[in-house]
Every structure is written in structure tokens, then in C-alpha cells.
Copies of this chain bind each other. A is one copy, B any other.
Amino acid sequence: MKAIFISIGDELLIGQTVNTNAAWLGQECSRRGIRVERVIAISDDENEIKSELNNSIEKADLVLITGGLGPTKDDITKHTLVDYFETKLVRHEATLKQIESFFAARNRPMLEANTQQADLPESCTILPNPNGTAAGMWFEKNAAIVVSMPGVPYEMKAIMQDEVFPRLEERFQLHSLYHRTIMTQGIGESFLAEKIKFWENHVRESGLGLAYLPSPGQVKLRLTSREGKSRAGEIDLLFDQLEKDLPLYFYGRDEVTLKEVIGSLLRQNGQTLGTVESCTGGGLAAEIASVSGASEYFEGALTTYSNQLKHDLLSIPMEDLQRYGAVSREIAKAMAVYGREKLCVDWCVSTTGVAGPTGGTAETPLGTVFIAVASENEVTVRDFRFGDNRERNIQMTILSALNMLRCSIVGLTSD
């Protein structure tokens, strides 16, 4: 099965929006064995859309269109599709009800422009949009399937997952590429490759595909079998081996996140968690709290950004802050230990560092971060040196802190 993605909207052409929809669709289609032939972004222009549709229907079995379905005048995708598929708009009662309840749930009045979003092409199958007011539309022409969806990423994703992929899977014998992933934190791509050289050779000889998928602070390994699920057991054994050999880095399988792994561990142990943050500003706490049900183990956090609050809230002596500096092994340790008491938690993680882009000194250069993990019996501190990009340093600190916490909870000593 071959697919072409058409993204509609001037904001993509002038670079105001990065086309992350295409990347997500590419990932989801590929792992179902749908081959992506091309990705196109064009403007909200009727002739452009029609000519691209002609071209794509000829070349592909599946054409996924995103964008241009909003209630305002500059959105013309729906009317263009009506024209292209020679149909007309009719009021779709189920969609109207859904739009009405969408507004009712938000206590907001409905405008005429919103009501009109329930007028949909007669000849298409309507794909409900649980997260918004623009429904998906499924057309068929010359053996090609054309699906139009809103451009808002989480609306589009829900329609793909709930409506489009199930229909495709039901109707077509999708290629049975079988993917499994295993997640690492704290080791770069080339160092990882060096450490698992023999394992990698063995994997490649066995005919499985291996891909390194790096993102800041993490590398995901993906194994692909062309023989479908039949090799699932073998892949599990291969993953077992990695987790046994390199437990400090490998933290979970199949898209699990560190924050979820920590949630499961704490829930199992009946333990509680808090954080005390400086350079991450509350981002570590927010990451932990973003897991649904985190209130079972996450009690709360202190962001002691200023030295004054490090003193007032944690009772760290001002002279210690002056002697060691706020970005130091000693203060990271004090933050975690005192924080654990103030927050009355079993585990407390602290962060302090120079996130940048300014503020480095000779002793604590830009990107220096200390992370401490305190439990009843022990406190572990590690120092890191990230780069000069503030956003990235904060993200790296959050991930490193979560992995240090994971290692501490399961009784591993960080290197």
C-alpha cells in the first residue's frame, strides 16, 4: 500500500508551522507497512489542491490530507473536496450533536460558523472528531482512498487512530512488519553502538532490522521483523540481554516513558516522591505530574530558584550557599535531603545547574548540573556537563534526574 500526504496551509509554506503532522503520519504508516511515497505542503488554493489530488490519486492508494478545515473564511478544503468529488454539502446530524456537546461541555455559545461545520459532503464517510469541531472525511475514487482531516495535531491523531487505521486494517492485508522498541537514557548513540557491537552483529546476522532513533538525552532502538509477530519471543530474549548487560541505560520497552516506569515502581513499593528544583524551575515536577494518576505517589515540589528561598524553605544555611555556591555537589545534596523532610516523602530528587545561555564561570561552566536523589538511608549525587542551549539543558536535566531516580529505586548504583 502506497501513501501520499498532502498538508494544506500557507503557514507551512512560510515556515510559521513546522510540519510535525507529516512526521507522525510517516511513523505510524511505516510501522504498519504502508510505504510513504511523498509528502507535499501546498497553500489554501483551490486549483493547487485539485491538481495535487489528481496527481496523488494516480500514484497512491491512500491520500491523507491535513489542514484547511477551520471555521474561518481562509479555510477552503471542504468546499474544494465537495467540488472535486462532485457532491454537495448536507447537514450531518450526528456531527452537529457532537459540536453542540463540545461547546456545551466548555460552557461556550455556538456561532453560525460552528454550526456550518456540521454541513459535510454527502458522498463521504464521516469520521468523528472527538477533540474538535471539524470532522474527518473519507472519500474513495478510482480505487484510491482520500481522507481529509483537521490540521490540529491531536485532533488529526485521534481520527487516524480511532477511525482511519482500524478501517484500513480491516479492509487490507497490511504488510506485517513487526516493530519493537527498547528505550535508553544517559548514553549517546555512538557510545551505545560501541557497547552493543557484538549484540548488533548477532541481530543483523539473524535478519532482523535494527535502527537507532536518537532524541535529546535518549536513544531508542528499534528491531524490525519482516516475518511479523512470529519472532516476538526471540526479540524479547534479545532485549532481555540488553537490559541485563546495561541496566543503567535500558529502562523499558515499547515507547514506555521514564516517568511512567517511575510511577509503576513507586506504586508497587507504596512509596512517595517529591522534587526540589533550581535550574529545572519546576519542570521535573511537572513531568512527573503529567502522568495520569500521579497523585498516588507524587506529593509535591519546591522550586527554590533564588538563594533566599533555598534558605527560607529548606533551611540551607546562607553561609553554605556562599561557601559552595548554589550550583554545587553540596547544595544539590542539601536540597534533596532537606527537601525530603519538608515534603515528607520517601524519595526526593533535586536539581541545580547553570542552564545558560549565560551565567557560567570557570569553576561551574555553562551546562554544569548537579542532581541528587535522597531516600531514607542514602543520598546519591552526580554531576553532568551539558551544552549551551538552555531549553535542551533543562530537558536533559529532567531526563537524567528521572533515570537516576529509577536506578536508585531499583537499587542500581549509577556510574
Contact with B along A322-337 (1 / 0, CB 8 A): 0000000000000000
Assess whether A17 is in contact with B12, with CB atoms less than 8 Å apart: no
A222 at the interface (CB under 8 A from B): yes
Known: A222-B16, A299-B305, A312-B344. A282 touches B286 (CB 8 A): yes
Residues in chain B near residue A391, CB distance under 8 A:
290
Q: Which of B27, B131, B179, B298 contacts A305 (CB 8 A)?
A: B298
Assess whether B39 is in contact with A12, with CB atoms less than 8 Å apart: yes
Q: Which of B28, B211, B309, B394 contacts A11 (CB 8 A)?
A: B211
Contact with B along A252-263 (1 / 0, CB 8 A): 000000000000
A356 at the interface (CB under 8 A from B): yes
A side interface size, CB within 8 A: 103
A350 at the interface (CB under 8 A from B): no
Residue in A42, A220, A295, A303 with the greatest tally of chain B CB atoms within 10 Å: A303
Complex Cα spacing A369 to B394, Å: 27
A193 at the interface (CB under 8 A from B): yes
Contact with B along A21-52 (1 / 0, CB 8 A): 01111111110000011111111000010000
Assess whether B39 is in contact with A13, with CB atoms less than 8 Å apart: yes
Interfacial residues of chain A within 370-409, with CB under 8 A of chain B in the complex? 385-387, 389-392, 394
Residues in chain B near residue A386, CB distance under 8 A:
106
Assess whether B302 is in contact with A306, with CB atoms less than 8 Å apart: no
Interfacial residues of chain A within 339-374, with CB under 8 A of chain B in the complex? 342-344, 356-358, 365, 367
Complex Cα spacing A348 to B317, Å: 25
Complex Cα spacing A282 to B213, Å: 29
**Which of A86-94, A138-146, A184-192, A236-244 contacts its partner?**
A184-192
A292 at the interface (CB under 8 A from B): yes
Assess whether B18 is in contact with A72, with CB atoms less than 8 Å apart: no
A58 at the interface (CB under 8 A from B): no
**Which of A107-115, A120-128, A160-168, A227-235 contacts its partner?**
A107-115
Known: A70-B214, A72-B189, A385-B105. A292 touches B14 (CB 8 A): no
Assess whether B290 is in contact with A394, with CB atoms less than 8 Å apart: yes
Assess whether B309 is in contact with A343, with CB atoms less than 8 Å apart: yes
Residues in chain B near residue A290, CB distance under 8 A:
281, 283, 390-391, 394
Assess whether A286 is in contact with B280, with CB atoms less than 8 Å apart: yes
Residues in chain B near residue A304, CB distance under 8 A:
300
Assess whether A281 is in contact with B289, with CB atoms less than 8 Å apart: yes
A10 at the interface (CB under 8 A from B): yes
A270 at the interface (CB under 8 A from B): no
Closest 5 CB pairs of A and B: A281-B289, A15-B26, A282-B282, A282-B285, A283-B286
Q: Which residues of A contact B (CB under 8 A)?
A: 10-20, 22-30, 36-43, 48, 70-72, 74, 105-108, 111, 113-114, 131, 152, 154, 179, 188-191, 193-194, 210-214, 216, 220, 222, 275, 277, 280-286, 288-290, 292-295, 298-306, 308-309, 312-313, 342-344, 356-358, 365, 367, 385-387, 389-392, 394
Q: List 20 A-B contacts (CB under 8 A).
A: A12-B22, A13-B26, A14-B179, A15-B23, A16-B222, A17-B213, A38-B43, A38-B48, A105-B365, A105-B367, A111-B190, A111-B191, A113-B190, A281-B294, A283-B289, A285-B303, A295-B305, A299-B308, A300-B305, A301-B303
